[in-house]
Structure 1
């Protein structure tokens, strides 16, 4: 009777005269694989992917610019509220007619939500207006910057990553809005700013997700931001344009350039993956 061991096979649930952690040294490096199923993106694809980040950055800049225009009283609050209401109403009607199946039911629920927000917002705007009177303005601005940065980090850009959290992203944006609203001169202005926050950080992403085309929104927001920043601050405009170039051109270029240095390895040390479950069950029953 021969004592020669059979050739080791990398299979599951089959009796072999080898330890469970055994690996044949002759085929250890032979099974090494690099960059399996890796698809290199083009510069155009990388730029289009960065538009989602650029869109949310422009959205934040628009909101902050609205705050400063209200703070310096460069715009009539009633005019601003009217413009925002008209744009939101048009977008809402379009969303209801195009993307909603049960229009009547959806319209009724949304109208109740709008009425509730208007009533509660107007009642609590005096509280929001005086909420942080004892806090310095520098602290408020620093906190706002940090909250908006966290908002961008956790925002849902359509990528299924563990760091994505809609609740954290929305909560930080609303908290930053409350901080800024407390620095305005009147409770009505605070209510308008909170209305803008709801429209831009709650309703606007819903419409963007439904349309799935950020290019048009990015161009609209870019034009609005440039127009607002021209009268606000030349330095802010320069920093804004530099950030836009960084997000939409520099970062995609670096991403595409550094793709050739990416190297992921696969081999016998990886966890086993069961591909044919039925076959495994049949072999297990036979044993």
Structure 2
């Protein structure tokens, strides 16, 4: 019995009693995935796009509230891009077109009805409180948004709801029903429709499309900031620098200390067969 080494396997008969365990029973193996900086940068593109969506909503709010951006123009552009995105993602789902039209009509009627209520919703609340609440909600959206990873903190429902609620907080500071309707519509397009379009294009067009989309989104957001909210430029550049350089570099550095521990407490697996 001493010449035969005991193995922790279930599929092989061994010359040992059923209750026998060898010295290797409490073995621990440590594994980690080796990543390069380019892979970390690619993973950061999804976060960058979501940062641009959140800041883009704030930029559109400033443009409308200060009278530098016509709400009708923003609404027409949003509707046009939304229809194009719908045509791209739903081209093979013609059977669902009637239901989609019903949902769109219900949304238009609902938001049009509640816009007067939203406009006066936070009349007794200080502007500083609204700004702080909006900032917190948008940060929470960035934290719980689904970037394609299976972790416990991800919650697409909460991510979508807090994004729309942030737009409601901002819309309550606008002057007309059309402005309110436009801002909430833009929020739905940015936080519900745009992520679906990104995932669809990423699945069918590959990494090159993700990089092109990220560059285009960053360019559009930066242009909007320069025209309508130049005071957000420093925040935007700092967020991009942290997201695309500091965090990937820190992730690569800490990856070398990451260890996945396996032992007898794990489920039995067939190895080397």
**TM-score class, shorter:** 0.7 to 0.9
C-alpha distance in 2, partners of 1:272/1:122?
Answer: 55
* 80-89 or 166-175: bigger deviation: 80-89
Cα pair 1:58 1:218 within 8 Å, conserved:
no
- The question of 1:47 aligning with 2:62 is answered no
- The question of 1:239 aligning with 2:229 is answered no
Cα pair 2:10 2:270 within 8 Å, conserved:
no
Cα pair 2:75 2:182 within 8 Å, conserved:
yes
Change (3 A) 1:157 1:107: same
Cα pair 1:140 1:179 within 8 Å, conserved:
yes
Superposed, 1:32-111 pairs within 5 Å as 32-35=28-31, 38-97=32-91, 100-101=92-93, 103=94, 105-111=95-101
Give the superposition deviation at 1:187.
Answer: 1.5
Give the superposition deviation at 1:248.
Answer: 1.1
TM-score, length of structure 2 as denominator length: 0.86
- In structure 2, the gaps of 5 or more residues are 203-208
Aligned to 1:175: 165
- The question of 1:118 aligning with 2:114 is answered no
Q: In the alignment, which of 192, 197, 205 is matched to residue 195 of structure 2?
A: 205
Cα pair 2:130 2:169 within 8 Å, conserved:
yes
TM-score, length of structure 1 as denominator length: 0.82
- The question of 1:271 aligning with 2:261 is answered no
Give the superposition deviation at 1:9.
Answer: 6.1
Change (3 A) 1:7 1:130: same
Give the superposition deviation at 1:173.
Answer: 0.8
Q: In the alignment, which of 197, 216, 223 is matched to residue 212 of structure 2?
A: 216
Aligned to 2:206: none
Superposed, 1:130-209 pairs within 5 Å as 130-209=120-199
- The question of 1:16 aligning with 2:22 is answered no
Deviations 1:163-185 (A, max 9, x none): 11111111111111111110001
Deviations 1:35-64 (A, max 9, x none): 2xx321111111001111111111111111
Give the superposition deviation at 1:238.
Answer: 1.7
**DSSP-derived class of the 1:261 partner:** coil
Could you say what the CA RMSD is over the residues aligned between the two structures, in angstroms?
Answer: 2.5
Cα pair 1:62 1:221 within 8 Å, conserved:
no
C-alpha distance in 2, partners of 1:271/1:88?
Answer: 47
Q: Aligned pairs, how many?
A: 260
**DSSP-derived class of the 1:270 partner:** coil
C-alpha distance in 2, partners of 1:182/1:118?
Answer: 18
Give the superposition deviation at 1:32.
Answer: 3.5
